[in-house]
Amino acid sequence: MKIIGFIISIATGSLLIYAAADFPAWSDPASPASTYLSPHFIEKTIEETSVPNIVTAVLADYRGFDTMFETTVIFSAGVVCYLLLRTSRRKEPETRYYRHILTGVTIELKEGYKIPPSTDFERIDSLWTPPDLIIRTVCRLLIPFIQLFALYVIAHGHHSPGGGFQGGVILGASIILFAISFDLRAAISRMSEKLVAVLCAVGVLIYACTGGLCLLFGRNFLDYGALAELLGVDAVTARSHGILIVEIGVGIAVMATMIWVYNNVSSAGKYEQGL
Amino acid sequence: MNDLVATIIAKYNYWIYITLMMAGLYAMIAKNNLVKKIVGMNIFQTAIILFYVSIGVKKGATIPILEHAHGHGHDAHQAVHATDYINPLPHVLMLTAIVVGVATLGVALALAIRIYNTYHTLEEDEILAQIREE
Amino acid sequence: MSQQYPALLVIVPLLSALAVAVAGWVNRKWCFPLAAAALAVAAWSSVGLLFRVLHEGVVIYQLGGWPPPVGIAYYVDHLNGLVLPLVSIVALLNIMASKKSVEQEFPDKICAFYTLYLLMVTGLLGIVVTGDAFNLYVLLEIAALTGYGLLAIGEKRSQLATLHYLYMGTIGACFYLLGVGYLYIVTGSLNMVDIAEILPDLYHSKAVIASFIICMVGVWLKMAFFPLHAWLPNAYTYAPSASSSLIAPLVTKVMVYVMIRLILTVFTPKFAFAAIVLSDAVVWLAVIAVVMGAILALAERDLKKMSAYIIVTEVGYMVGGAWLGNRIGMTGAILHIVNDALMTLCIFLVVGNIVYKVKGYAFDDLPGLFRKMPFTMGAFVIGAMSIIGVPPTCGFFSKWYLIAGAISAGRYDFMAALLFSSLISVVLFFRVFEISYYEPFGDSHGHDDRSGGIDEAPVTMVVPLLMVAAILILLGLYTDYIVNHIVQFAIPEALV
């Protein structure tokens, strides 16, 4: 197999190198890619969409349809991970472990036995490790600031590098940090499985419904100029606002998918113990 | 000869990315462990992303965010020259490709977890041996 | 409203996929009606779009209101106009037929299944309708990812088979992306029609030749063209029957459509067939694909794997027919896309019915089924006749065009391979007929005639199957109309 792999790699590599002989040199400003289509984007973005970040304008407006499907890709990855990994939610595991917080005594309960609700006991798993004070404190302090930064990245995507995807990933990372530093159960108790799954779909729905709204107003799909009467601004600013709305949708979808995929993959679908 | 050397040096970014791509492709085909194959797939996709991004570079140009633009609304007076800013289109395309790569990685890892739960190994030859015994 | 058909076609399944995902967490009973309604709307839009194309010619729909090449545009001509109703109607018939099967096989994840089902159909419809090369890549990945999810929830071996499909599918999609990147470097545009206008000056460029080869290899990987077919039999066999009857008829045919679109629209036939060496080599590979697919199908002892190898053979037909380089062969290939999708749907729905009742699909499970499941096996007979190529089913006519194209191009080896594989199909299917008709029921199940045992599949599973069988015959009778009014205009006049 190694020899076949070697031969295939060499053959493909030679084909690619052979083709590269006709490419323009690196960073040549007169290459066809830089002179044919992109000057339109660079020069006309401000007057057509009033968004200085050209990448965001192209991503969410000119090629907004691609971005909608990209968000759908990430949503479908979340659904696939759920479908593949999630084991049945109904039955309780055979043995459950509870730990008395003050004394550190661990109780093992077989199926069918219950423990009265009390704050002296916490539910733990068989791979439990003692909580680390430094990690928990630092994370608890940092997570709100991380989330604030993520919201900044989403909102400021018009003027600086950023946007929905980047901000969404940072938001998702903050919740995953909570799950890693505390416990998967603690994270799920804060953002339940149902909420995460629904948010994931809602994010993409925001994007698709913005486009559908433009359809209802008589223009083509995702033509944000149609939102001008709805938002009460002129057509160009309506495009800028339309971009912001879809970026928010993208951010929500990406955040929820990151959390959903992490929950499923780290616990192999059982949602009992994470990493 | 001089011409050839000049060509090779002028396009060195393409050679690097092609090498990276082929390293990833070789890992996907030749390695036995499922996770190593997944990592090879990731390397292959990342090399393609780097290749696309390198298309958009222009000598002496800056990032594609218009300077002095906010605050002017849509009657910005300063003329914008296309040569001052790098090509934004490959960046946009590669944002999509990165997301697709992450999604594929997630699905591949979920499949690997299921396979591990069933066969208790991640080496492909051991899994095929177990299948043949059934 | 009819102006918006191209958008509705893709948006309605997408929105309903999201609605099903949300509804699944609220009340499970809404999932199936929403999904079926969305597919019905998509089917109606696609048929409406076909009529628009027949009246007006090419339809271009600008997304976001931006004209191409600045924005993304949908480009619908006779070629997509023919394939779009095919995809949506196959998906609609399949979702109706597999409702009971889904409820039996994974009762607690119905809504996630329907979400992925709708997303897959969105991806496939988007691939067919788009006119932008990069948009095609994104939709390709949607169809691929949802396909992996749908295929991996079957039997024990399905996860490994899907992981192998994932590896090869990702390489294929990345090759396609690389090819589009090469085209972008030398032309600067991503819109297919735009690239076709810029390319003629660049035909001698090495980058364009390499881009063509890389795109083709990528698409061949995804359509399981020999020798890159290794993922297909395992992936389709171990999948649940509801998924395999969606994916098997559609995915490989949509990839053949992509290949034909690249040949006819982006790299015009003048360039694609100019390098005679390449066309000869590809037709030769197609000959091997057809022969190997037939022989490997002969070696299998279960119905599903046999059908999967038959798909490999059919892909060989289509690729060979398209690369023959003449009008008749291309007509045969395009007609075969439609016919093969329906034939494969028929066979896989039959297998789905058999699995639902008998819980197995090996030849040992089949004895005596003709008496117990007469409608299912009757439809199986019609599907088998179509694959063998017996008039008046549609399979005969597309094979006729392919053979005529092979003779006209002087490729007698391709013609011989076609006839050989038809003979092998006769053996394959008559084996099944013999086991299921002549052998007494009950040899391997532990039931026998007296205790009742198996009866016909439920009505919701049989009616769509009979509709598909009827369409097979109808399409055969109307082949003349389809070829003269639709397929003729799909192929540019330059191709002789």
For every one of its 275 residues, what pLDDT tens digit does chain A have, with 9 covering 90 and above? Answer: 788 889 999 999 988 888 887 788 777 777 777 788 888 888 888 888 888 888 998 898 889 899 999 999 999 999 999 999 888 766 666 777 888 878 878 888 887 777 777 777 877 777 777 778 899 999 999 999 999 999 999 999 888 888 889 999 999 999 999 998 888 888 888 888 899 999 999 999 999 999 888 888 888 888 888 888 887 888 888 888 889 999 999 999 999 999 999 999 988 878 777 66
The upper half-sphere exposure of residue C488, i.e. CA atoms within 13 Å in the direction of its Cβ, equals 8
- Please report residues of C whose CB lies closer than 8 A to that of B51: 178, 181
Determine the structural domain holding residue B10 and report its residue range.
2-60+82-133
Interface ipTM = 0.92
In the prediction, which pLDDT does C205 show?
82
Chain C: closest CA distance from residue B114 (Å): 7
User: What's the rounded mean pLDDT across residues C65-75?
Assistant: 86
DSSP C30: G
Which of A51, A79, A200 is the best substitution to test chain C (most C C-beta atoms within 10 A)? A79
Under DSSP, is residue C157 helix (H, G, I), strand (E, B) or coil? coil
Please report whether residue B44 resides in a domain: yes
Rounded to whole angstroms, how far apart are CA atoms A59 and A41?
A: 11
Sort residue A173 into left (φ over 0), alpha (ψ -120 to 50) or beta. Answer: alpha
Neighbours of C413 (CB within 10 A): 16
- Please report residues of C whose CB lies closer than 8 A to that of B13: none
Asked whether the beta carbons of residue A41 and residue B89 sit closer than 8 angstroms, the reply is yes
Rounded to whole angstroms, how far apart are CA atoms C333 and A217?
A: 41
Q: Which of A86-95, C2-11, C289-298 is predicted most confidently? A: C289-298
* Pair of tokens at residue C345: 């749907």
C200: pLDDT strictly greater than 70: yes
Please report whether residue B65 resides in a domain: no
Asked if the C-beta of A104 comes within 8 angstroms of chain B's C-beta atoms, the answer is: no
- Please report residues of B whose CB lies closer than 8 A to that of A25: 7, 10-11
Rounded to whole angstroms, how far apart are CA atoms C207 and C187?
A: 10
Asked whether the beta carbons of residue C112 and residue A83 sit closer than 8 angstroms, the reply is yes
Question: What φ, ψ does residue C30 adopt, rounded to 5°?
Answer: -80, -15
B81: pLDDT strictly greater than 80: no
**Closest alpha carbon within chain B to A39:** B82
Rounded to whole angstroms, how far apart are CA atoms A183 and A195?
A: 18
In the prediction, which pLDDT does B22 show?
93
Nearest neighbour of C70 by CB, restricted to A32, A40, A209? A40
* Pair of tokens at residue A218: 């008589």
The answer to whether A126 and A120 are in contact (CB under 8 A) is no
State whether the Cα torsion C217-C222-C225-C230 is positive or negative: positive
In the prediction, which pLDDT does C451 show?
43
Q: Is the backbone peptide bond immediately before C392 cis, with ω within 30 degrees of 0?
A: yes
Please report whether residue B33 resides in a domain: yes
Residue B18: give its domain's CATH number. 1.10.287.3510
B to C CB pairs, distance under 8 Å: 64
DSSP C66: P
Please report whether residue B31 resides in a domain: yes
Neighbours of A150 (CB within 10 A): 22
C453: pLDDT strictly greater than 70: no
Asked if the C-beta of A20 comes within 8 angstroms of chain B's C-beta atoms, the answer is: yes
Query: What's the first-to-final CA gap in chain A, in angstroms?
Result: 35
Neighbours of B133 (CB within 10 A): 6
Q: What is the 3-state secondary structure (H, E, C) of chain B?
A: CHHHHHHHHHCHHHHHHHHHHHHHHHHHHHCCEHHHHHHHHHHHHHHHHHHHHHHCCCCCCECCECCCCCCCCCCCCCCCCHHHECCCHHHHHHHHHHHHHHHHHHHHHHHHHHHHHHHCCCEHHHHHHHHHHC
B54: pLDDT strictly greater than 80: yes
Integer CA distances (angstroms), C332 to A70, C57, C321, C340, C483, in order: 35, 22, 6, 11, 9
In the prediction, which pLDDT does C306 show?
92
User: What's the rounded mean pLDDT across residues C381-409?
Assistant: 91
Asked if the C-beta of C494 comes within 8 angstroms of chain A's C-beta atoms, the answer is: no
C452: pLDDT strictly greater than 60: no
Within A87-196, strands assigned E span 95-100, 106-110, 121-124
Asked whether the beta carbons of residue A63 and residue B22 sit closer than 8 angstroms, the reply is no
Asked if the C-beta of B131 comes within 8 angstroms of chain C's C-beta atoms, the answer is: yes
Asked if the C-beta of B94 comes within 8 angstroms of chain C's C-beta atoms, the answer is: no
Nearest neighbour of C185 by CB, restricted to A15, A33, A38? A33
DSSP C486: I
Pick the range with the lowest mean pLDDT from B64-73, C109-118, C235-244. B64-73
In the prediction, which pLDDT does A90 show?
60
Average pLDDT, chain B: 86
Chain A: closest CA distance from residue C152 (Å): 7
Asked if the C-beta of B122 comes within 8 angstroms of chain C's C-beta atoms, the answer is: no
Asked if the C-beta of B112 comes within 8 angstroms of chain C's C-beta atoms, the answer is: yes
Q: Which of A35-44, B75-84, C268-277, C468-477 is predicted most confidently? A: C468-477
Rounded to whole angstroms, how far apart are CA atoms A259 and A188?
A: 10
Asked whether the beta carbons of residue C167 and residue B37 sit closer than 8 angstroms, the reply is yes
In the prediction, which pLDDT does C246 show?
94
Q: What is the count of structural domains for chain B?
A: 1
Residue with tokens 């065009």: C401
Rounded to whole angstroms, how far apart are CA atoms A119 and A117?
A: 7
Asked whether the beta carbons of residue B70 and residue A52 sit closer than 8 angstroms, the reply is yes
Residue with tokens 């396609």: C176
Which of A4, A26, A41, A63 is the best substitution to test chain C (most C C-beta atoms within 10 A)? A63
Residue with tokens 């499941």: C373
Under DSSP, is residue A102 helix (H, G, I), strand (E, B) or coil? coil
Rounded to whole angstroms, how far apart are CA atoms C252 and C319?
A: 11
B72: pLDDT strictly greater than 50: no
